[in-house]
Amino acid sequence: MLPKASIERIAKKAGAERISADAVKELQITIEEIGLELAIEVAHAAKYAKRKTIKASDVRFIAHK
């Protein structure tokens, strides 16, 4: 799980002046879920390319599709 400080930094970059502890927890959970879904798709892309190793190009390809 991402550290609380990282979540707060992301929220502030998005324009939030303050963020509640509950909101930080929800963002941590949501970001982890989205990250897992992305990682699954990226792993499938690497397998489709007949590789065991995920490359940065796989992540960029899936993230921008």
pLDDT, one tens digit for every residue, the chain (65 residues)? 899 999 999 999 999 999 999 999 999 999 999 999 999 999 999 999 999 999 999 999 999 98
Structural domains of the chain sorted by starting position, each given as residue range(s) with its CATH number in brackets: 4-63 (1.10.20.10)
Nearest residue to 31 (alpha-carbon basis) of 64, 65, 7, 59: 7
